[in-house]
Copies of this chain bind each other. A is one copy, B any other.
Amino acid sequence: MATIKDVARAANVSIATVSRVLNNKSGFSEDTRKAVEEAIEELGYVPNGVARGLISKRTNTIGLLVPALSSMLVSEMVSGIERIVHEQGSSLIVCHTESNGKKTMQYLQLLLAKQVDGIIFTSGVLLQEYYQMIERSGIPLVLLSTESLHLPVPSVKVNDRLASFHATEYMIQHGHKKIGMISGNRNDMIAGVPRVEGFRMALSSHQIHFEESMIASHRGFSYIDGATAFRKLMTDHPDITAIVAASDDMALGMISEAFKMGIKIPEQVSVIGYDNIPICNVSIPPLTTISQPVAKMGEVAAKMVLDMIHGDEKQESVVFPHEIIERQSVKKMN
């Protein structure tokens, strides 16, 4: 690989001059510019970003921590983030932590070592341990699809509890009285707890009867979890007419299971999902669901770190509005 020295030699100037034309620093004649540019072209010279980073203390790199990569939701986020980051001339290092504390610490160490300019932490609980490490390094941090109640870290998210509340209320407004919930992991502080809370709050604020067994939860949020949870729910409460699902995957799994059980959707049981993954459009029936502007959220989070990097101090957290996408999986009761 050619270095600035090679260019200098080929152009018969000093490295200082090469550096000047490279960075448009003014202080060189048109002739030398040409000579230098020719030499650069000739040698296929590309400035060494590592050396630049060493002196400028900027790597133009930002680190992204996600629990998993192979989910539509996360993909969209990453896509949005990457777009903005690249637009601003930086690049993105992705780390998938599998929600594993040890791995996360490892990745954090790595990102610090790599001298990333900023960090985006996604969909998980920001442990003290993580925070201290980042705080100590002084690297700007923003939370995406999660938040910290007691730590001063800006975040970008939707109000999950409210979204779940609305989803449930939507069922109530459609005349449903016996409503069950298919929840994912109830210990999940992001997608578990708040959605269950929203569900319960909606029922109680409309004075609808509720018992604990009307919430069927499982390990995860996958369609298999949805299928098994649904079966359990229907054996305990065969008179349920509406289901609030904690994810589209679960809702889809539930639909599939209903099909096997001979239960018609939405004629016999209505269902509303959560996430608005693309497949909702083409499921049978098309799935009514809660949508978050995921890509947009990623973009905003990216902008936030970048702004912080550029010195704009602490940013305000932003809560994005969710939206109910009405399709055909909810039937109006009379």
Contact = CB atoms under 8 A, between A and B. Distances in A.
A75 B110 CA distance: 22
B70 A72 contact: yes
Interface in A25-73: 44, 46-51, 53-54, 59, 61, 68-72
A112 interface: yes
A114 to B, nearest CB: 5
B50 A115 contact: yes
Contacts of A93: 61, 91-93
A331 interface: no
A215 interface: no
A110 B61 CA distance: 11
Interface stretch (A142-150, A176-184, A237-245, A276-284): A276-284
A127 interface: no
Interface string A86-109: 100001111110000000000101
B113 A49 contact: yes
Contact of A114 (B49, B68, B86, B133): B49
Given A48-B115, A223-B282, A110 B137 contact: no
Instruction: Determine chain A's interface SS by DSSP, over half rule.
Output: helix
A259 B68 CA distance: 34
A165 to B, nearest CB: 27
Contact of A50 (B59, B83, B255, B295): B59
Interface string A274-314: 00001101111000000000010000000000000000000
A78 interface: yes
Contact of A46 (B46, B78, B113): B113
Nearest to A68: B79
A76 interface: yes
A328 to B, nearest CB: 11
A283 B72 CA distance: 17
A78 B74 CA distance: 12
A209 interface: no
Given A50-B54, A69-B82, A113-B49, A92 B94 contact: yes
Nearest to A254: B282
A177 B91 CA distance: 52
A86 B82 CA distance: 19
A82 B137 CA distance: 25
Nearest to A92: B94
A138 B44 CA distance: 12
A246 to B, nearest CB: 16
A69 B59 contact: no
Nearest to A91: B93
Nearest to A294: B70
11 contacts: A48-B113, A49-B113, A49-B115, A50-B114, A70-B76, A70-B295, A75-B75, A223-B278, A256-B281, A256-B284, A284-B284
